[in-house]
Amino acid sequence: MRKSSTDNPGAAGGNSRADILNAAIGMFAENPYEAVVIRDIAKRANVQSPTIYHFFKSKNGLYREAMLAYYSRRVTSIDLLPPKGAPPRVRIHALVLKQLQAVASDPVFFQLLQRELLNTDDAFKKDIAEKIMAGLYDYLDDLLAATRFGRGNTVIPTMVMSMLLGYFQVARFQKFMPNFAGKPADDLSALQQIADAITDFIQPG
């Protein structure tokens, strides 16, 4: 007996789950959480509302999965970075520059990040820390073993992450400051300069 699309919500062509996640990321980036309606996400994803509930059970469940999917795309894969045998300075610079480029390429990043900074759901923060950020922290911790900071330093990895994100936040205002003659935050040479500065902070040349 042939199954209908209601028996298998992902059977109506394409990847319904991925389509729903992509639609949800866009909707949550454009609107406050309270203003997002499941039926609008369904319309954008070209699925029926019950399909969303089949995969994600609730609006909050969809939000959590969408944000995890989104943040996982913004974090540089450790596989794309220089291996452990490379000089520490080379590894540090590559990590910082790739992460800067990833953030600069996505205009909605801070809309979602700022919302998460206000989120009081510690269980969700734990998910992001364990599933998304842990790999980068481990990579940084290994790098620090060859620097003046040493392995196991709990402050410097957080400072590095803060520098990466804070650069773009402050750069929004910097261009309006008197006598500012710098380059846009997403200019490639500007990213190179900030990567050089962070690298010099961790491992002076």
Residues 50 and 92 in one domain: no
**Residue 121 and residue 167 share a domain:** yes
Q: Give yes or no: residues 60 and 114 share one domain.
A: no
Average pLDDT for the chain: 81
Q: Which of 78-87, 144-153, 163-172 has the lowest mean pLDDT?
A: 163-172
Range of the domain at 23: 16-70
- Residue 5 and residue 11 in contact, taking contact as beta carbons nearer than 8 Å: yes
**DSSP-based three-state secondary structure for 130:** helix
C-alpha dihedral sign at 82, 107, 166, 176: positive
Check residue 183 and give its pLDDT.
Answer: 65
For residue 188, what are the CA distances in angstroms to 61, 160, 185, 193? 37, 19, 8, 9
In a domain, 92, yes or no: yes
Task: Say whether 127 sits in a helix, a strand or coil.
Answer: helix
Confidence (pLDDT) at 181: 66
Q: Verify that 93 and 130 share a domain, yes or no.
A: yes
Residue 198 and residue 113 share a domain: yes
9, part of any domain: no
Sign, Cα dihedral of 171, 177, 182, 184: positive
At residue 152, the pLDDT reads 84
Count CB-CB contacts under 10 A for residue 150: 11
> What does the pLDDT look like over 13-71, one tens digit per residue?
458 999 999 999 999 988 888 999 999 999 999 999 999 999 999 999 999 999 988 88
Q: What is the rounded average pLDDT of the residues 127-144?
A: 83
**Predicted local distance difference test score (pLDDT) of residue 45:** 95
| Chain segment 88-113, per-residue pLDDT in tens | 899 999 988 888 887 777 767 767 77
Q: Which of 18-27, 93-102, 147-156, 158-167 has the highest mean pLDDT?
A: 18-27
